[in-house]
Structure 1
């Protein structure tokens, strides 16, 4: 048995970036992002949670009431995080389908209506020292939004859940890494 503490990775820092669907995808974990991608800034200390969501339907045999097969009837991934930088791109992403408008010099507004479908491309960069991990979601959308809490001593946070949609080849997202441990030994 080989146990190597140096193979343990920690998501120390990173950033979520957003662009219109169809924006050129990155090609490596460290390649420059297309200029259309805009960084969304700080994320709360809870970081980003990537969650597989699989619905399994068991087929039970009449004899002995045992499971004889399992079917995956639904499979998707979500990414949940709380953005804590208040800036136009974050506000527009949170209030789906809304746009920031200038009212007058130094004054802006966002008219919040019923949520509209607003698919986007996303890139999540995660860095641990010299190791870079990148997730590219070519077509995703904010499908859940948490409460915004205004409280003394707490950052205003915009909790969002992004659902990754499959492309024509069934790919939900692509992960890149410059970590040699991803290779086979």
Structure 2
């Protein structure tokens, strides 16, 4: 049976949707547990939200005559793309360029070094709120930045780092976990 209450759009968590921490930080295993203190929220992301993409690598085999007889699955790559628009935020710059490449602060003067070193791998969390107050949390145990769009300095739009992170499988072969919990229903049931 169809249910319109299961169709949803998503809003960011008001405290900030995207957080990151060093790999090995304790990860949540549900949609509601408070994040470990090592996680840093990265503030606003652009109105485009986040895109999760699955790139399947497969080969189609055909028999003589052209009939498809087999699809060989070679794996898939999971990426997440979002634009961090708090360009003046030290934590944002540390996530993009690495903690060692960002020094100072806005009051004393901040320096961001854009080097040719391999991007660091972090654990990432994306907290969203779906329709009817359902919390949806995506936990990415290990991912690093694998692409970044041009940084545009203009008066017509906010500057920001439009990054793509590529997820690595954990020791169970899982690249990301999605946890969902209807907070509204939980509160009603407790009453």
User: Could you state the TM-score of these two structures normalised by the residue count of structure 1?
Assistant: 0.89
1:157 aligns with 2:156: no
Quick check: 2:20–2:95 contact (8 Å CA) kept in 1? no
Deviation at 1:153, TM superposition (A): 3.4
Deviation at 1:80, TM superposition (A): 0.4
1:18 aligns with 2:17: no
Change (3 A) 1:98 1:149: farther
Deviation at 1:115, TM superposition (A): 3.5
1:8 aligns with 2:42: no
Deviation at 1:105, TM superposition (A): 5.9
**d(CA) in 2 for partners of 1:5, 1:104:** 47
Deviation at 1:103, TM superposition (A): 8.5
**d(CA) in 2 for partners of 1:104, 1:18:** 21
2:180 to 173, 177, 180: 177
Q: Using the TM superposition, name which of 94-103 and 30-39 deviates more.
A: 94-103
**d(CA) in 2 for partners of 1:6, 1:74:** 34
Quick check: 1:80–1:160 contact (8 Å CA) kept in 2? yes
Quick check: 2:143–2:165 contact (8 Å CA) kept in 1? yes
Aligned to 2:169: 166
Aligned to 1:183: none
Change (3 A) 1:13 1:67: same
**d(CA) in 1 for partners of 2:90, 2:106:** 16
Gaps of 5+ in 2: 184-191
**d(CA) in 2 for partners of 1:72, 1:95:** 34
> What are the equivalent positions in structure 2 for 1:122-133 lying under 5 Å apart?
122-128=124-130, 129-133=132-136
**d(CA) in 2 for partners of 1:58, 1:146:** 32
Change (3 A) 1:92 1:142: same
> What are the equivalent positions in structure 2 for 1:40-119 lying under 5 Å apart?
40-62=42-64, 64-86=65-87, 87-96=89-98, 99-102=101-104, 106-119=108-121
Gaps of 5+ in 1: 181-185
- Flag the structure with higher helix content: 2
Deviation at 1:45, TM superposition (A): 0.6
Count of residues in Structure 1 that have an aligned counterpart in Structure 2: 178
1:138 aligns with 2:141: yes
